Amino acid sequence: MKKVLMPLAIAAAIFGVTNRANAQASATANASAYVITPISITKTLDMNFGNLAVSASTGGTVVLSTAGARTATGGVTLPSTTGTVTAATFTVTGEGSYTYDITLPSSAVTLTDGAGHSMTVNAFTSDPTALAGALTAGSQTLYVGATLNVAAGQASGNYTTATPFTVTVNYN
């Protein structure tokens, strides 16, 4: 009887171990990533408000649209000899069909004539608007307009920024 029970006990022990081994399972997985084209922005044209005149007693503004059209307020007039008038123009490139945010200057930018006179530019606008940039086929033109603040009796001369203003783009 011992001879019959011994092989059965050994078989039961083997099947018990085998059942435990079958309770465990493994699987594998691969890892991957796709690196997109970096977004970039390149200036195509500088912003230029063109020629303007101002009253000796009343200041005003010149509003430059993203389409390059100007309007004057207050004591500012726009002569028929316009000079060069352009909205700032940039080319944004990156991954095709991706969208991006646009960050415009949040504080005023100062223009000086080199002789101690200055004006400020603020209220920057963009086309497309700040949250609506979309890279169709990997590229889009970005236009930036703003408001030039002109003091009464502003000295005549050529005014430019000492430091360029920054426009930043970033993928959504």
What residue spans define the domains of the chain? 40-171
> Which has more pLDDT, 22 or 14?
22
With beta carbons less than 8 A apart as the criterion, state whether 52 and 119 touch: no
CA-closest candidate to residue 87, choices 103, 101, 73, 69: 69
1-5, 81-85, 100-104: least confidently modelled range:
1-5
Closest CA to 145 of 83, 90, 76, 95: 90
Is the whole-model pTM more than 0.85? no
Q: Is the pLDDT of residue 3 over 70?
A: no
pLDDT tier, 111 (very low <50, low <70, confident <90, very high otherwise): very high
> How many Cα atoms are found within 13 Å in the side-chain-facing hemisphere of 163?
7
Report yes or no: 144 and 90 within 8 Å, Cβ to Cβ. Answer: yes
Q: What is the pLDDT of residue 12?
A: 58
pLDDT at residue 15 is higher than 80: no
Q: Computed over its alpha carbons, how large is the radius of gyration of the chain?
A: 34
Q: Which CATH class is domain 40-171?
A: mainly beta
Across the range 1-11, mean pLDDT stands at 58
Residue 65 has what pLDDT?
98
Q: pLDDT confidence of 132, banded at 50, 70, 90?
A: confident
Number of C-beta neighbours around residue 153 at 10 A? 12
Q: Under a CB-based contact definition with an 8 Å cutoff, are residues 102 and 152 in contact?
A: no
Q: What average pLDDT does the segment 107-126 reach?
A: 97
